[in-house]
Structure 1
Amino acid sequence: MFALFDVSLQLNGFPINKAKSELQHILNLSEPDYLSFLDRKKKKIVAFHFQNNPFYKKVLGETVPENWQELPVLSKSDLQQPLLNRLSKGFTKQNCFVNKTSGSSGTPFIFAKDKYSHALTWASNMLRFGWHGIDFNHSYQARFYGMPRDSIGYQKERLKDFLSHRYRFPVFDLSDTILEGFLDKFRTQKFDYINGYTSSIVLFAKFLQQKNIVLKSICPTLKVCIVTSEMLFENDRILLENQLGIPIVNEYGASELDLIAFENPQGEWQVNAETLFVEILDENNQAVPYGMQGKVVITSLFNTAHPFIRYEIGDIGILDEKSTPQKPILKKLIGRTNDFALLPSGKKAPGLTFYYITKSIIEDNGNVKEFVIKQTKINTFEVDYVSEIELNLTQIQKIEAAIALYLEKGLIFTFVRKEKLERSKSGKLKQFVSLIKEKAE
């Protein structure tokens, strides 16, 4: 069959065949050869940017440190300056892949990849989706994502969807009427897989639950659902498995880098060790042992257009104790570094703690469709939620008691029922937001 997706990449200057060949070579390396490859690529990418990237040379100073651990850690704020200031010599906006991060971390910026590096990203994506029987050239995707609002952007995205063999379900309006339309599409199309934002697919699954429908029964060609960009809670996974009737696969990636971790057929969240070098560091930028939590810091081993070397992505995570350099396993992703609430006692608590406690209580009867939590003052939080029926006093008291038990007493919560929740421009639902000036760092 005609490989339309591969051909479209080639026509856009992304050498996908060469990238697939190199990726396969890396995968076939023995453990000692892989360690040599990794050491060589780390040194090579640092040396390249030191010699060819004025921005990175300024970051390093006059010399390249002897030890990897002495290299500076780049934050997103370091990169919030014009892209032309950060490009390597010989690269322009015209001869590389340029895009913008989603801004879900609160610090969006424009980035670039050289075309070969971007081709490797696609080769990596194809490999990992292939673990679950998905072929980008032939498998038909049901895509739960955002969509540009302007006419030109909308048409461009639809064309990209056509070339990528996918149909997009825009996620900005997820009312029952719209979800009914989604369901009709599944009745008439032979989709092979679902891919998109966790919160949107979970909301669709709740709609199916209300109607007592298992999606695979009306779209039997479905093989797998791959969720991305937002946290996947265990009870949401169970809901998705029950209502979609297919395996659920958890994806963790960043547009400026690559797929970072992808659930393999054994249920492990396998880290991409072919195109990336992923570290978990403590507050002093020292590597922590496997099994301990720290900030996720990533080096892009192939991107020569723009330096992502020891780049702090803004997430907190843990690598499993059974990890090896060639096959790291992400044990847990705890949340973003800016998703921490500073409490009156001085305690710093991950925002997802509030979300998790609240979620476990208010979703018992399926009334609440989705919600977000905002910290408006050091002791005050607002819960915005969408539901059929307003929360009652008993439910609110149970939430307050659970938060007092797991966090601390004296926190004030207000509950605001809404028709629908605000989503970012990309369509993501930010589950916890701190609006106070003093942030936990």
Structure 2
Amino acid sequence: MMLTGMRIALVGPQAPPAGGMANQTAQLAALLRAEGARVELLAVNTPLLPPWLARVRYLRAALRLPVFLWRLWRASRTVDLFHVMANSGWSWHLQGAPALWIASLCGKPVLLNYRGGEAAAFFARHRRLVDASLRRAGAIAVPSRFLQEIFEQCGHAAHIVPNVIDLHRFTPANGERDNQGPVILVARHLQALYDNASAVRAFAIVREAFPAARLVLAGDGPERAALESLANSLNVAEAVLFAGHVANHAMPALYQASTIVLNPSLADNMPISVLEALACGVPVVSTNVGGVPALLQHGVTGLLVSPGDAPAMAQAMLALLREPQQARRLAANGLAHAARFDWQHVGPQLAVLYRRILAAPRPSGYARLVAHWLFPLHEKLKRHDSVRLLRRMERSQWWSAGQLERWRLARLRRLLRHAGAHVPYYGALFQRLGFDPRQVHDLADLARLPLLRKRDISTAREAFKSDRAVGLRPFSTGGSSGEPLLFFLGRRRISHDIAAKWRATRWWGVDIGEREVVLWGSPIELHAQDRLRRLRDWLLRSTLLPAFAMSPGKVDGFIKRLLELRPRMLFGYPSALCRIASQAGAQGVPLDGLGVKVAFVTSERLYDEQRAQIASAFGCPVANGYGGRDAGFIAHECPHGGMHITAEDIIVEIVDAAGQPLPAGSLGEIVVTHLATRDYPFIRYATGDIGALGTAPCACGRGLPLLQKIEGRSTDFLTATDGTVMHGLALVYILRELPQVRSFKIVQESLLRTRVLLVCLPALDAPTRAVIVAGFQARLGAQVAVDIDEVDEIAAEASGKYRYVISKIT
């Protein structure tokens, strides 16, 4: 499980009293230590108080809290992570929440292991207060689907990590039980929540049919006197044994001596006593509350009854006593079911969560200042909502497929209703098609709409604006598709894309504020570097290097800057990073000791040989990203290799030549619907790229669907007469700024001749031709001949694919 040497602060209750959570905490500590972890057990119920003071309930809690907080703070200096066992009520406010806050303030990752069966009611009463603390957790683990659904309803992702049963100790009895009469065991504390009173009443009914029957109540608590009185009033006192607290090591013998285990609880999650009974081969009767129905299948692994219904409890127990064959069948099924809760099954699930929270960004003090204060302030000043969206996305990435699907469907409906009512283009389209957004019941209903092509936007650009648009700004695509596009984005869409990219960055253990070098070439970014933007980049520790002009001398300068800056992350075109890697390797300049944690690449197709070259040269993993200004931040690679779609914001379809959706695994055109584009909607937007959806989930555990393949377009490098090698987009950007250019193809025939094929509407005039020639010559060389041919159509290559920039120079 790779836990050797891991330092864990395990926060939870310790016996006495020997409750289910205390037993789980002690057992977990022993199991983790057996795996090689160094565990510091921090008891939330420290026994440092005098016995007389420890009996005063609220005073006891108030006096224990300062000691508990001090121990948490001291442990934070020596451990790698905190594992916090938590429950509802005052236990949460005085133990669980303080542990989360102390660990967070000390920069330590936290796994919150929540076990409260009353979670739904507790969250309803204290939602905001609980939410503020839950956001401190690196991950949330719960033992049942029941609790997972409660967290999902509150907007938090929780992972199921079942309770652990020691199957070496909890085993079926050897030989036959004694024949002195049936023994019914209730192993719950004597508290009102566990409704031992109903158990006593049910037992009284059972004893009428089986006079030799006995009831054992293994536990203690404030209800004991009332229960003794009830047993007396029902004339069963002599058959009811109040065993008091029973040490965990003595519990197997108690189960093995029992005929039936009864769980009469009024609220529950995944009761340990039920699991232990199953492991000991004892049939179980339980109330069907909380997470119990997810643990026990009625009639298969146990019998379930309504809470507080003593006659129903009695009838279920009598059925088992009168039909031994049914009791044996339930016991056998329960024994097989209990095998799922062995450490060999549960331990690896826990180890995955430990590794995940340890891999989360742990930036330096300055980087934390940037990520938590400076960049959020920057976003607030720009009226972006990216910080709140990031927090939500970091929870939603772990949602189940069902929850994610419901979320996307609700957002899709809102987008379509808004587009039909407030966007002229879609209002007319929906009316023409007879399309009613209110009749969208499934994501597949999107296929009733036609694909949106770039030419559709170009011919009706203003009609895509919502009459309720907020903060629209003009943008344009890079034009590497041959069809440059001018369009608009609102602040809402920009905020979502920033949050999605920010989240993907954090997947790799780096955050905004870490030292970054960006190898980019868009004139938009390069020309926009005014004094204010340079100050912003200096504060964020982001350095922009122009990837267009990459002559040997320029690349030498880039290598020198990298050696000076020692960035934690790189971002840029894969071809540009490969160019630097090649030249550094040829000169014998090592780059793998810079401390780069990850190289993010985008805008071009990433080839396997490029990935290997970049990873080897910089000594870091390579993370591929896919998207664009028009389509949005579509997908990004996680450390497990999955290309995760930003599914909270983007619906990806793979369609055939007729625009009809294809099943996962099939290759076709990538079509996206961006759910945050109500200001300027992109609905079923055809990217022109080829890809396939994934057919299996990623090993990282995220619920975000995958792109299995991306056969995107690639752009060649061009060579200037002085030997400068530049990215093909250097010339693309000259053409894409011209509104009459519909598509293009650039062919560098030789160092002294470049041919440009253009489809224009209207035709080019002489001044525009001169602008193109001057721009090309400024980059390629003044003596280069630039031939411009206007054509009606640009044909595809023999393979069927398009190449928009081709250099015939080796």
| Both structures adopt the same fold (TM-score exceeding 0.5) | yes
Aligned ranges 1:283-432 → 2 under 5 Å: 283-322=657-696, 326-336=703-713
Matched residue SS, 1:215: coil
> 1:148 corresponds to which residue?
523
For residue 469 of structure 2, the aligned residue among 86, 91, 99 is 91
* Residues 96-175 of structure 1: pairs in structure 2 closer than 5 A: 96-136=472-512, 138-146=513-521, 148=523, 153-155=528-530, 158-159=534-535, 161-162=537-538, 164-175=540-551
Distance in 1, Cα, partners of 2:795 & 2:451: 23
Q: Matches of 1:181 and 1:316 in 2, distance apart? A: 37
Report the alpha carbon displacement of residue 35 of structure 1 after superposing the two structures with TM: 1.8
**1:420, 1:320 → 2: CA distance?**
44
CA shift in 2, pair 1:436/1:70, >3 Å: closer
2: CA distance, partners of 1:189 / 1:280: 42
CA distances 1:16-66 after superposition (whole Å, capped 9, x unpaired):
233224324533533322221122222221111011100222233343255
1:50 maps to amino acid: G
Give the CA deviation at 1:145. 0.5
Moved more, 147-156 or 25-34: 147-156
SS at match of 1:80: helix
Q: Which has the higher contact order (CA 8 A, sep 6+)?
A: 1
Q: Aligned pair in 2 of structure 1 residues 209, 384: CA closer, same or farther (>3 Å)?
A: farther
Deviation string for 1:377-404 (max 9, x for gaps)?
Answer: xxxx977689xxxxxxxxxxxxxxxxxx
Q: Which amino acid aligns with 1:45?
A: L
Residue 163 of structure 1: how far off its partner (Å): 5.2
What SS is found at the alignment partner of 2:550? coil
2:449 pairs with 1:75 = no
SS across alignment from 2:416: helix
Equivalent-residue separation in structure 1 for 2:424 and 2:621 (angstroms): 47
| Aligned residue among 648, 652, 668 for 1:278 | 652
CA, structure 1 residues 370+121, in 2 after alignment: closer, same or farther (shift >3 Å)?
closer
Q: 1:213 to 1:273 in 2, by over 3 A?
A: same
For residues 794 and 404 of structure 2, the distance between their equivalents in structure 1, rounded to whole angstroms, comes to 45
Displacement of 1:120: 1.8
Alpha-carbon shift at residue 108 of structure 1 (Å): 2.0
Which range is displaced more, 306-315 or 257-266?
A: 257-266
1:198 aligns with 2:607: no
Please give the alpha-carbon distance, in whole angstroms, between the structure 2 residues aligned to 1:210 and 1:167: 25
What's the CA shift string for 1:222-256, capped at 9, x where partnerless? 11111110111111111111112211111111112
Q: Flag the 1:298–1:160 CA change in 2: closer, same or farther, 3 A.
A: farther
Q: Does 1:7 pair with 2:383?
A: no
Question: Residues 223 and 247 of structure 1 are in contact (CA less than 8 Å); yes or no, is this contact kept in structure 2?
Answer: yes
The CA distance in 1 between the partners of 2:711 and 2:750, in whole Å, is 23
Contact residue 101 and residue 255 of structure 1 kept, 8 A: yes
Distance 1:228 1:193 in 2: 14
Q: Which moved more, 1:315-324 or 1:51-60?
A: 315-324
Distance in 1 (CA, whole Å) between partners of 2:748 and 2:409 is: 48
Query: Cα RMSD between the aligned structures?
Result: 3.5
For residue 230 of structure 1, what is the aligned residue in structure 2? 604
Q: Which residue of 2 aligns with 1:180?
A: 556
Give distance in 1, aligned partners of 2:525 and 2:516: 23
Paired residue secondary structure (2:653): strand
Q: In 2, Cα distance between the equivalents of 1:279 and 1:159?
A: 41
CA distance in 1, matches of 2:551, 2:747: 23
**TM-score, reference length from structure 1:** 0.73
Change (3 A) 1:269 1:55: same
Question: Aligned pairs, how many?
Answer: 362
Decide whether aligned partners of structure 1 residues 163 and 15 sit closer, same or farther in structure 2, where only a CA change above 3 A counts. farther
Indicate how the Cα distance of structure 1 residues 152 and 146 shifts in structure 2: closer, same or farther if over 3 A, else same. Answer: closer
Contact 1:260 1:271 in 2 (8 A): yes
Structure 2 distance, partners of 1:103, 1:39, is 32
User: Which amino acid in structure 1 is aligned with residue 435 of structure 2?
Assistant: V
Q: What is the one-letter code of the residue matched to 2:452?
A: L
| TM-aligned CA distance change 1:52 to 1:204, over 3 Å | same
Q: Deviations over 1:398-424 (max 9, x none)?
A: xxxxxxxxxxxxxxxxxxxxx9996xx
From the CA coordinates, give the structure whose radius of gyration is larger. 2
Q: Which amino acid is the alignment partner of residue 180 of structure 1? A: D
Change (3 A) 1:159 1:435: farther
SS of 2:625's equivalent in the other structure is strand
Asked if the contact 1:144/1:168 (under 8 Å) is kept, the reply is: yes
- 1:169 positional shift: 0.9
CA distance in 1, matches of 2:387, 2:569: 24
Larger helix percent? 2
1:31 to 1:290, Cα distance in 2 relative to 1, 3 A: closer
The one-letter code of the counterpart of 2:625 is: E
Long gaps (5+) in structure 1: 340-351, 356-368, 373-380, 387-418, 423-433
1: CA distance between counterparts of 2:523 and 2:539?
17
Deviation at 1:188, TM superposition (A): 1.5
State the partner residue of 2:592.
216
1:64 aligns with 2:421: no
Gap change, CA 1:29 and 1:172, over 3 Å in 2: closer
Q: 1: CA distance between counterparts of 2:749 and 2:619?
A: 30
Counterpart CA distance in 2 for 1:318 and 1:151 is: 34
